[in-house]
Structure 1
């Protein structure tokens, strides 16, 4: 699978599919009659130590506790029913999965429900009540996640660290958080310190970054992901003190859409930027943007203040946009580029066409193939 996606980037990738047959839910459920069922929080530790075929049923995890699923090698984990969590004002995460050569598959009607509506106060991570971070946290190697449904994240939805990971049919539904603007900082799927990642055929309705690739990641392919209400298809770095934890290399977003969002395409490094590093070989191809309310395309080194005072500890090079089309609304801009002195180079854009803007582009670096 990975060779299919990365061969054009001249990268040799070894994925889980080289050693593992990928299952759908029904096939996985019929692999054996000896599934172990986790029906309560207290049953989980013993079952994950002895079983490689596990079903997590619907139950409530006690308040302030993480459901730890530290899986044995070659495990198959199925989610069924509705998994919920008692209300507590703590750090989280709600669910933590580790393992190697594993598959995690959701049943048709399963939901991991964060009940964010019990926490949302319009302030997100900036204040108000303390909100648990991450409904799902994974740290895995050679893993497949398929048809995972997450609803109403209090603060950040899913994070992943590791290598050779595929997310297919990942669905995040934070629609309830749009009412009166109560939900904030509900980032969809974020990856850090990762390599050889595929995300495809997924939907995210949320109130911050839709998919976010963070420092230390390389060889990431995101395809057919549809975002609504988000802060865009994002790349973020500058928060570490060393280059190996800031570098981002070879990321492609392709055949994706963003609608009703704060931003569309968003590549950013922080100011202050804590350390050196390079963002290189980034491609956005066939991206449809609809009714963005601030910037359809924003590449910046003054995040989060947006004050024009850009850092230049990190370089950005080969940030390429191909067939990026769509619209903005109100006073939104088509493009904002704010690079630190000498930090940006070799941006190549073609067929970038955004309509509806009443505000001029703002660019202190001009990509080849585009006129700001």
Structure 2
């Protein structure tokens, strides 16, 4: 049997031998990690977490409840490995959140086979989301990390906003976000799936999101790929700009959505800029191989009149090189359109679309700008 030092040495060899794509360390999978957990520090209660995070690089959180109104703060050491086991849930309190906040550098966070992060949103939902009703904690899973991988994380019933990301050189793979209970009586609102801002070099992949707002939302970020992500009930595969009055906080560059699907949703592709914000540039955004099914408003909506939808767009955000390739699907309902484009004067340039076809619309496309390769 290995000694403690030998086991740690083996783990370090596994952890630090990674691909150059993520700062030179290699991610490990759960099966590998769990075989080494005899040398991990186990936290089986909220009260144990703070000291264990300070003392240990290799940590397992096991099956406990976080007290009402408290954040599970996980300020991980450099190169730390964190495993979730069992159910981590959060006692009810009407406060802002977040429930979990993870910081660190070159870290790995892995969900165990039967783990669950349970936000107990069903005890908060009242049909109002963030616009009224009871105060709901925002962000079940908040990340501010420089370099890392997050694998196979299961999240259920977010009161509001599920996963919030700030950081660089991060991969999120195998996320399963389940807010299906929020459809009962239309009570779940603003349960955004995954969103990132002020970030660079982000990958979100191989994930499933069931929710009642944006499925994935990109804000003020660069160099990201969202691939093989499948959404249900959401508001869209989204790009957002103009949220800030500061010009430098509105830029979005080099973002790709590919091999994704979205269905039973309010929107399919949703690209929105806020007229009240500062100036900015959105450049080199690509949607490739996107399947849209049974959307109830617009299959594809690029709008510079958000949120008023009043046909009076602003040109504070310049949108260039917007590429749609093989985007197909269906919409249904009496108010649906396949495509709506509402651009501000002179703010949209060099859009190239091919293989774009949305069927089932009851209204004609509504476009004040015409992409190359698409007639609307």
The TM-score with structure 1 as length reference comes to 0.94
Distance 1:57 1:339 in 2: 50
Specify the alignment match of 1:242 in structure 2. Answer: 246
CA contact (8 A) 1:15 1:196 kept: no
User: CA-to-partner distance for each residue in 1:43-75, whole Å, 9 max, x for gaps?
Assistant: 111111110000011111000000000000010
Specify the alignment match of 1:333 in structure 2. Answer: 337
Distance 1:307 1:78 in 2: 48
Counterpart of 2:192 (choices 187, 190, 211) is 187
CA contact (8 A) 1:112 1:150 kept: yes
Q: Unmatched 5+ residue regions in structure 1?
A: 1-12
Distance 2:100 2:37 in 1: 25
Counterpart of 1:222 (choices 208, 216, 226) is 226
Counterpart of 2:69 (choices 64, 68, 92) is 64
After TM superposition, give the deviation of residue 242 of structure 1 in Å: 2.5
Specify the alignment match of 2:293 in structure 1. Answer: 290
Counterpart of 1:40 (choices 45, 67, 73) is 45
After TM superposition, give the deviation of residue 360 of structure 1 in Å: 0.8
CA contact (8 A) 1:38 1:56 kept: yes
Specify the alignment match of 1:257 in structure 2. Answer: 261
Specify the alignment match of 2:350 in structure 1. Answer: 346
Q: Unmatched 5+ residue regions in structure 2?
A: 1-18
SS in 2 for 1:80: strand
After TM superposition, give the deviation of residue 39 of structure 1 in Å: 1.1
After TM superposition, give the deviation of residue 292 of structure 1 in Å: 0.2
CA contact (8 A) 1:111 1:151 kept: yes
Specify the alignment match of 1:7 in structure 2. Answer: none
Q: Does 1:162 align with 2:167?
A: yes
CA contact (8 A) 1:172 1:203 kept: yes
Specify the alignment match of 1:303 in structure 2. Answer: 306
Counterpart of 1:361 (choices 350, 357, 365) is 365
SS in 1 for 2:304: strand
Distance 2:349 2:105 in 1: 38
Distance 2:33 2:239 in 1: 34
User: CA-to-partner distance for each residue in 1:204-228, whole Å, 9 max, x for gaps?
Assistant: 000000000012x000001100000
Q: 1:21 to 1:14 in 2, by over 3 A?
A: closer
Q: How does 1:136-215 map to 2 (within 5 A)?
A: 136-215=141-220
After TM superposition, give the deviation of residue 308 of structure 1 in Å: 1.2
Specify the alignment match of 2:8 in structure 1. Answer: none
Distance 1:161 1:296 in 2: 29
Q: Which has the larger radius of gyration?
A: 2
After TM superposition, give the deviation of residue 32 of structure 1 in Å: 5.1
Q: CA RMSD in A?
A: 1.1
Counterpart of 1:92 (choices 94, 97, 103) is 97
After TM superposition, give the deviation of residue 305 of structure 1 in Å: 1.1
Distance 1:243 1:368 in 2: 28
After TM superposition, give the deviation of residue 14 of structure 1 in Å: 5.9
Distance 2:218 2:246 in 1: 17
Distance 1:145 1:77 in 2: 9
Distance 1:346 1:31 in 2: 53
CA contact (8 A) 2:275 2:315 kept: no
Distance 2:20 2:280 in 1: 26
Distance 1:114 1:159 in 2: 14
Distance 1:243 1:79 in 2: 39
After TM superposition, give the deviation of residue 33 of structure 1 in Å: 2.3
- Name the count of aligned residue pairs: 357
The TM-score with structure 2 as length reference comes to 0.93
